[in-house]
Structure 1
Amino acid sequence: MPQAKRVSMAMVAARAGVSGQTVSRVANDSPRVDPETRARVERAMAELGYRPNRAARALRTGRTHTLGLVAQTLSTVGNSRMLQAVAESAETRGYALTVVTLGADGVIDDAFDRLRDQGVDGAIVLNEATALARDADAAGLRLIVVDSPSDDRFTVVGTDHAAGARAAVEHLLAAGHGLVHHLAGPRGSFAASERERGWREAHAAAGADAPEIVRGDWSAASGHEQVSRMLAAGEVTALFAANDQMALGALRAVAESGRRVPDDIAVIGFDDIADAADFQPPLTTVRQDFDALGEHAVRALVTAIEGGDSADLLLAPQLVVRASA
C-alpha cells in the first residue's frame, strides 16, 4: 500500500491563502501573526492533517515543544483524570507530553533529571508529588505545580479544597446533623490536608467540636475498612469522605452494618468522578473541574515557556447534591 503523502507547509499555505513564511510563523508559535490569520492557518493545518516536524522545529527555536508531567502515581482517579486533561490541552497547543511516575519511594530530583535529559521545555507536578517538589532541585525546569501552598519558585494551579469541604459539611450540618465524621486522605497530601481544614472550619463556625478523624489512602478498600471500624466504635449519622473512591467503600460498609444511606447515615464525597452518579445511592459530592485544571496548568506552563508571566490560580469547586445526603 503506498504511503500517504506528507502534508507540507506549502500545501497548508495554499489552503489558507497565505505565504509559506506565515505558516512557518504559526507552526513556530511566533507572535508576529494576527489572530484571524493564525486561526485560518490552524484550520487549514487541521483540515489537511499537517503535523510540524518537531526535530526541525527544535533546532530552529531551541525548544522541543514537549512538556513533562510528574506524578507520584497514576492509579488514583484524580491523577488519571488530570493526566487526561493535561494531555488533551497540550495536544491542542502542539506540545507532546512525557510522563514520569515516582512510586511510593521515588525521588523527585531523579524525575527532574530524567525530564531534563529528554529536553522538555517545562513540567507540571501533580498532587502528592508537590510536597516533594518544594524540596527538590528543579534548576533549569519551568514548573507549574497542581495543588500546593504558594511558592515563589513556581506557579500554583489548584482547586479550593477547603471551600469545597466547608460546603459539604455545612450542607450536612444544615440538615440537622450535630457532627460530621471525616474519612480523611493520606498524610502528606496537600489536597487531603486542605479538605480536612475545611471540615474543621465548618464545625468551628457552627460552634461544634469536630470528632476524631479516620484516615484512608484514597482507595475504596481503605474507605470500607476505616468506616467499618468507625461504625463499630460509635454513633455516626453523617460522613464526609475526602474522595469519591473512599466514599464508595464507605457506602459498602454502611450497607453491611444494616444501616441505610441517607436515612441512617448521610454520605458526601469529593471529586465527582464519572461513576459517582451511578453509586447506590447516587453520591452527593464536591465536583472538581479536572478539565479546567489541566487547561489552566498547561496554559500557565506554555506562557512561562514563551517568556510570559502567570499568576497562581485557585478554582472554585461545586457541591453536587444527589441522593446520599
Structure 2
Amino acid sequence: MASPGADRPNIRQVAERAGVSAMTVSRVLNGHPHIRDATRRRVEGAIEELDYRPNMTARALATQRTRRIGVIVESAVEFGPTSTVRAVESAARASGYTVSSVLLRAGEEISPQEAVDHLIAQGVDALCVVAPRSSSIAALRRIAVGVPVLVVKPDKDPTFLTVTVDQQAGTALAVDHLVSLGHRDILHVAGPLDWLDARTRERAFHARAKSWGVRERPVVIGDWTADFAYDFARGIRELPDYTAIFVANDDMAVGLVHGLHDRGFSVPDDLSVVGFDDIPLARHIVPPLTTVRQDFDALGVAIVDVLRAAIEEREIPDVTRIPAQIIARASSAPPRKAH
C-alpha cells in the first residue's frame, strides 16, 4: 500500500523539471534574493506545472522554523488594530505562514512578558506588536525575546523593526484639506496620548497647523469611542470660534457629528469635521465623512514581508511606511461666514 502523499510531486521532481538542483528550488521557495530571474521563472513554472505544495512540517524540521508569526495587539476593539491584524493574517497565509495572537487590555492580568512567553512557547519565528502604547514598548525593551520583533509604530526604533501607515503625512493631508477650504481655526480631538499613533497624530497636527498659521488651541483628549465625542459635542453650548474639527479616528468623528446634530449644529455649514481611518460606515453617515484612509492591506503585506526577510536572514525591504490618502466627502466645506 502506498503511503499517504506518495503520489504528490516532491522537490526533486520540481528540480528535474526545471533543470536545476533541489537546493536551488529550496532557495526559490524561501525567497532567497540571489537567484537569477530566468532561473526563478523556470522553477516557478515547474512548481505550477506539477502543482507542487511544499511539506511545511518537513521544511520546519529542516530549517528549525515553524513558519508562524506571533501577534500582540493592544486592542482588538478599535477599527485600526482589528484591520491590521486581519491584514497580517491574510498576508501571512498567502506567504505560507500562520499567525497566533494575544490580546493585551489595560487593567487585565496578562502582561507583555506573559504575552511574549505564551507566543514563544508556540515556537513563533517572529513577533509583531500592533497598536502599541508607550508603556508596552518600554516593557518589551526589557524582554529578551530571541526572535525578530516588529512594532507597528510611526517612528523608526533602535531596538525593533518598524512598519506603519504614514501617520504624519496622513495628518498633514487632513490639515491641508481644511486649510485649502479656508479654515484657519481648527480644533483637534485626539486619541489617548499614551497610544503611539494618537501621540503622533497630535504632534503632527500641531506642526502642520503652525506651518499654515492656524490658531493654536489646546487639544481635546478622547478615548477613541463615539460615546466620548458625542458627549463632548453635546456639551458645546454655543457656536464656537473654531470652524473645523480634526478627529483622531472615525469612531469619534461619527459620535461628534451625531452630537453636533443633536445639539442643533449643522455639519458642515456650522462646523466641518474630518476623521481618520475611513471605516466602512464613514461613507454612509449623514453627511458622509471626510477622512484619512489607511491602506491596511498594504500594511499587512509590508509587515509580513519585513518579518519574512528577518526570519530568513535576507535584506530588510525599504518600504516600511505606507502612504495615507485623504478622502473628501460632504462633512467638510468652506468655513461659515461671520455673522
- What is the RMSD of the two structures over their aligned residues, measured on CA atoms? 2.9
Q: Say yes or no: does 1:232 pair with 2:232.
A: no
CA contact (8 A) 1:285 1:319 kept: yes
Q: Which moved more, 1:268-277 or 1:160-169?
A: 160-169
Other-structure match for 1:103: 105
1:320 pairs with one of 303, 310, 327 = 327
Change (3 A) 1:117 1:76: same
Secondary structure of the residue aligned to 1:83 is: helix
Distance 1:248 1:43 in 2: 50
Moved more, 119-128 or 159-168: 159-168
- Aligned partners of 1:191, 1:84: CA distance in 2, in Å? 18
- Mapped contact 2:9–2:50 kept (Cα < 8 A): no
Conserved? CA contact 1:16–1:41, under 8 Å: no
Moved more, 83-92 or 42-51: 42-51
SS in structure 1 at match of 2:117: helix
Distance 2:16 2:221 in 1: 58
* Distance (Å, rounded) in 1 between the aligned partners of 2:261 and 2:216: 25
The 5-angstrom pairing of residues 201-220 of structure 1 reads 201-220=207-226
> What TM-score does the superposition give when structure 1 sets the normalisation length?
0.87
3-state SS of 1:17 partner: helix
Gaps in structure 2 of 5+ consecutive residues: 333-339
Partner Cα distance (2:159, 2:304) in 1: 17
TM-superposition CA deviations, 1:183-212 (whole Å, max 9, x none): 110121111111111221233223343222
Match of 1:117 in 2: 121
Is this contact kept in 1: 2:133–2:196, CA < 8 A?
no
Q: Gaps spanning 5+ residues in structure 1: where?
A: none
Distance 1:29 1:8, change over 3 A: farther
Q: Distance in 2 between matches of 1:48 and 1:225?
A: 62
Tell me the equivalent position of 1:163: 169
* Mapping 1:1-325, distance limit 5 Å: 8-10=8-10, 13=13, 17-18=17-18, 21=22, 26-27=28-29, 34-35=36-37, 38=40, 51-105=53-107, 106-129=110-133, 131-136=135-140, 137-229=143-235, 231-232=236-237, 235=240, 236-310=242-316, 311=318, 313-325=320-332
Cα deviation for residue 97 of structure 1 reads 0.9
Q: Distance in 1 between matches of 2:290 and 2:12?
A: 49
Aligned length: 321
Larger deviation, residues 34-43 vs 239-248: 34-43
Distance 1:191 1:43, change over 3 A: farther
Corresponding residue number in structure 1 for 2:335: none
SS of the residue corresponding to residue 307 of structure 1 reads coil
- Do the aligned partners of residues 316 and 26 (structure 1) sit closer, same or farther apart at CA in structure 2, a change above 3 Å counting? closer
Q: 1 CA distance for matches of 2:47 and 2:227?
A: 48
Amino acid at match of 1:95: Y
Cα distance in 2, alignment partners of residues 36 and 227 from structure 1: 62
What's the % identity of the aligned pairs? 37
- 1:183–1:31 distance in 2 versus 1, CA, 3 Å: closer
Cα distance change of structure 1 residues 117 and 233 upon mapping to structure 2, 3 Å threshold: farther
CA contact (8 A) 1:109 1:138 kept: no
- The answer to whether the Cα contact below 8 Å between 2:230 and 2:252 also exists between their aligned partners in 1 is yes
State how far apart, in whole Å, the 2-side matches of 1:247 and 1:110 are.
35
